[in-house]
Chain A
Amino acid sequence: GENVEQHPSTLSVQEGDSAVIKCTYSDSASNYFPWYKQELGKRPQLIIDIRSNVGEKKDQRIAVTLNKTAKHFSLHITETQPEDSAVYFCAASDSWGKLQFGAGTQVVVTP
Chain B
Amino acid sequence: DGGITQSPKYLFRKEGQNVTLSCEQNLNHDAMYWYRQDPGQGLRLIYYSQIVNDFQKGDIAEGYSVSREKKESFPLTVTSAQKNPTAFYLCASSIGLAGAYNEQFFGPGTRLTVL
Contacts and interface: CB of A to CB of B under 8 A. Distances in A.
Contacts of A96: 97-98
Interface residues of B, number: 26
B42 A102 contact: yes
A6 interface: yes
Interface string B55-66: 000110000000
Given A96-B97, A98-B97, A43 B102 contact: no
A42 B1 CA distance: 11
Given A42-B108, A43-B90, A101 B43 contact: yes
A102 B40 CA distance: 10
Contacts of B106: 43-45
Contacts of B103: 34, 46, 49
B107 interface: yes
Contacts of A43: 1, 90, 106-109
B101 A44 contact: no
A103 interface: yes
B48 interface: yes
A8 B103 CA distance: 24
A75 to B, nearest CB: 14
5 contacts: A42-B109, A43-B109, A93-B101, A97-B96, A102-B42
Given A93-B100, A101-B42, 13 more contacts: A9-B40, A31-B100, A42-B109, A43-B90, A43-B107, A44-B106, A46-B103, A89-B43, A98-B48, A100-B45, A101-B43, A101-B44, A103-B40
